[in-house]
């Protein structure tokens, strides 16, 4: 797995974020084929500016695994600031947002089974995302409409797609 840092991102100023600040994390996953070459990206936004962004090629996967892993990468990028910051994670994946806001509690109560008794797909990723989310004192999950011209959603969409294309090209070489 490779990490592709973007030339467009502002210098990594995560250390300059004061305690108890409010930040947003925009995330997106991309899959050239579903399943197929997959990547994800995130951008951390503070005071209306993207202060750190990154994209990573994950190898072969699905769009949903790319979306979930992008959210994990974005949350982990904040390091040990979790207890102090007020974080909103924004994703154009309604499935990720619904899972974290609504379905997760039921899945855990039902032994990681969905309605009808079927096992939850991508359970390890959801368990990992839940564990990381629990380390934040204030974390909100919000859906944002994709491909609607929102600056930071478009940024992470482009980064994720670029990483998926670059990773697929490297894999073929």
The active-site residue, picked from 48, 116, 147, 149, is: 147
User: How many Å apart are CA 46 and CA 151, to the nearest integer?
Assistant: 14
Contacts 24+ apart (CB under 8 A), 131-136: 132/72, 132/75, 132/76, 133/75, 133/100, 135/82, 135/83, 136/75, 136/82, 136/83, 136/85, 136/87
The active-site residue, picked from 24, 28, 61, 73, is: 28
- Our answer to whether residue 116 is catalytic in this structure is no
- Our answer to whether residue 40 is catalytic in this structure is no
- Our answer to whether residue 28 is catalytic in this structure is yes
The active-site residue, picked from 29, 40, 61, 74, is: 29
User: Are the beta carbons of 129 and 100 closer than 8 angstroms?
Assistant: yes
User: How many Å apart are CA 138 and CA 118, to the nearest integer?
Assistant: 31
The active-site residue, picked from 61, 73, 74, 157, is: 157
The active-site residue, picked from 24, 40, 67, 73, is: 67
- Our answer to whether residue 143 is catalytic in this structure is no
- Our answer to whether residue 84 is catalytic in this structure is no
- Our answer to whether residue 147 is catalytic in this structure is yes
User: Are the beta carbons of 34 and 99 closer than 8 angstroms?
Assistant: no
Which sequence positions are flagged as catalytic? 28-29, 67, 92, 147, 157
């Amino acid at each position: 797995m490779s990490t592709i840092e973007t030339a467009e991102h502002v210098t990594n100023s995560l250390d300059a974020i004061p305690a108890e600040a409010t930040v947003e994390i925009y995330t997106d996953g991309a899959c050239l084929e579903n399943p197929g070459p997959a990547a994800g990206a995130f951008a951390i936004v503070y005071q209306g500016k993207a202060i750190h962004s990154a994209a990573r090629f994950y190898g072969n996967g699905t769009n949903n695994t790319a979306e979930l892993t992008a959210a994990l990468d974005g949350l982990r990028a904040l390091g040990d600031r979790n207890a102090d910051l007020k974080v909103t994670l924004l994703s154009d994946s309604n499935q990720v947002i619904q899972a974290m806001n609504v379905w997760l509690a039921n899945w855990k109560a039902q032994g990681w089974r969905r309605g009808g008794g079927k096992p939850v797909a991508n359970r390890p990723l959801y368990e990992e995302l839940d564990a990381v989310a629990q380390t934040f004192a204030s974390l909100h999950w919000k859906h944002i409409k994709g491909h609607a011209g929102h600056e930071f959603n478009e940024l992470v969409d482009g980064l994720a797609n670029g990483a998926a294309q670059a990773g697929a090209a490297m894999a073929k070489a």
